[in-house]
Amino acid sequence: MPLFDYAPAPESRSIVSLAPSYGLFIDGEFTEAKGTFKTINPADEEVLAEVALAAPEDVDRAVAAARRAFESWSALPGSERAKYLFRIARILQERAREFAVLESLDNGKPIKESRDVDLPLVAAHFFYYAGWADKLKYAGLGPDPRPLGVAGQVIPWNFPLLMLAWKIAPALATGNTVVLKPAETTPLSALFFADVCRQADLPPGVVNIVTGAGDTGRYLVEHPDVNKVAFTGSTEVGRQIARSVAGTGKKLTLELGGKAANIVFDDAPIDQAVEGIVNGIFFNQGHVCCAGSRLLVQESIASPLLEALKRRMSTLRVGDPLDKNTDIGAINSKAQLDRITELAGVGSDEGAERWSPPCELPDRGFWFAPTIFTGVTQAHRIAREEIFGPVLSVLTFRTPAEAVEKANNTPYGLSAGIWSDKGSRILAVADQLRAGVVWANTFNKFDPTSPFGGYKESGYGREGGRHGLEAYLA
Ligand code: NAP
Ligand code: MG
């Protein structure tokens, strides 16, 4: 039994005023579409709003608006484009609480995270790329790098506004115009962002938001008048996009899945490592492409580490995303919950040992208790496939060489973590890991100045930092 209980500490949702329905944001105006769909709050299945479903002709209109806007937008001096980006960043900061509550409502993530992680990073991204807008010729990409034209951008539901920022900020800084499709289950923060663009007096057509399902995304990336495609999502859809873009001359970046190894050596400080493991896999319900979903622990410390991990997991609070004390919110959709449930079932069937702390899950909405599997081997599906939920697979190793071999034994290569007291060991191991990002004695740390992206089936191209400019310039 816990020593004490927390009183409810709900964040008020009154700061967000939702309209019953939203149109598409094209050429600086909200416009209607023939079809609509509903977006729900995954914590209680309540309908939040009705949203326009963009058909091919709507995507055509959006791309045409972006094309018209490109001429004047790309001709603006970088210092002028920077002013708009700075303005957007400041408005997002001013409206941060509203956006944080909105994001938690539509996505199910804890307010603690949308407030303290997503929104600060979103604003930081716009501030950072605003700073680059007038310095592009010093970016190491030639004396006069030029924008590509219209960027078609498709993003997932796990960090709706943050993924929008990763895509839109560098595109605008470099003089491109944008048509962006948010995920079907989380369209609202992108539509509120459209309002921020209007507030910032961004010229019409520079940013266009088309909501819809997978077909809308497909039509956008296949549109002949799009010059650049940026996609974040599943490897399967990424593959389809790579095929459809091949030979068209469109520039492409893909940020896909991951199955990161979080490696804990016997000299690691156990309590800090446990915090890092928890942050690595339970942050954002594990809906993180770079999540530390495979724990590789040195055999000699496996039992004390797992004991400490289970103790820590027992204190995680699962429930109302708007409660300020919630650690784990709702799973974003029924479909994702089914996928997690299925793969966790496979883990048990294949003989791994499943454990979750006792925790009461709400009756309505989509929920999954934090779960670990021990006794997992490389052959298990839960060691190979991305679960994209609060499920950790634990494997052991004896030597650093074995740790490296197991860590790299995956079709993915997005991120990894190393926990050790020895700097030399960290450097030696990091050097051998085939992963785009390697964290040492920490995990899931993000910064707009740092490039992010993968190897192998995790995709190609980098977002963030100076490297992130390259994807939008020729
Ligand atoms: P997804 O299907 O790849 O969706 C990502 C985005 O692409 C969404 O906006 C989606 O629209 C759109 N889309 C779907 N089909 C498309 C197509 N043929 N052409 C262009 N765009 C298309 O990912 P998901 O279904 O949300 O999640 C499935 C799995 O992907 C997860 O379980 C996880 O393993 C992985 N995932 C990875 C990341 C990441 O950050 N790397 C993020 C999310 C998911 P709709 O939303 O309307 O389907
Ligand atoms: Mg939703």
Q: Where are the domains of the chain?
A: 21-255+456-470, 261-440
What number is the average pLDDT over the span 415-425?
98
* Overall average pLDDT of the 238-249 stretch: 97
The pLDDT tens digits for 13-32 are 999 999 999 999 999 999 99
Instruction: For residue 186, report the distance from its CA to the centre of ligand 2, in Å.
Output: 4
| Mean pLDDT value across residues 315-333 | 98
Non-local (6+) Cβ contacts of 153 within 8 A are 167, 168, 171, 178, 179, 180, 181, 229, 230, 231
Q: Is the pLDDT of residue 91 over 70?
A: yes
Instruction: Give the residue whose CA is nearest to atom 29 of ligand 1.
Output: 234
Compute the distance between CA of residue 118 and CA of residue 109 in angstroms, rounded to an integer.
Answer: 10
Percent of the chain with pLDDT over 90: 99
> Which residues pair with residue 122 across a beta bridge?
none
Tens-place pLDDT, residues 54-81: 999 999 999 999 999 999 999 999 999 9
CA atoms within 13 Å, Cβ hemisphere of 148: 23
Q: Whose CA is nearest to atom 47 of ligand 1?
A: 213
Q: What is the pLDDT of residue 223?
A: 98
Which is catalytic among the residues 103, 184, 255, 463?
255
| pLDDT per residue as tens digits for the range 422-447 | 999 999 999 999 999 999 999 999 99
- Could you say which ligand is closest to the alpha carbon of residue 258? 1
Is the predicted pLDDT of residue 2 greater than 70, yes or no?
no
Architecture of domain 21-255+456-470: 3-Layer(aba) Sandwich (3.40)
Tell me which residues have their CB closer than 6 angstroms to ligand 1. 154-158, 181, 183-184, 213-214, 217-218, 221, 232-234, 237, 240-241, 255-257, 289, 339, 386, 388
| Residue 259 and residue 384 in contact, taking contact as beta carbons nearer than 8 Å | yes
Q: What are phi and psi of 224, to 5 degrees?
A: -65, -20
Q: Which atom of ligand 1 is nearest to the CA of 414?
A: 41
pLDDT at residue 4 above 90?
no
CATH code for the part of the protein at 261-440: 3.40.309.10
Percent of the chain with pLDDT over 70: 99
The confidence score (pLDDT) of residue 1 equals 59
255 is catalytic: yes
Q: Tens of pLDDT along 38-58? A: 999 999 999 999 999 999 999
Residue to probe by mutation, ligand 1, list 154, 185, 332, most atoms within 8 Å of CB: 154
Q: What pLDDT sits at residue 467?
A: 96
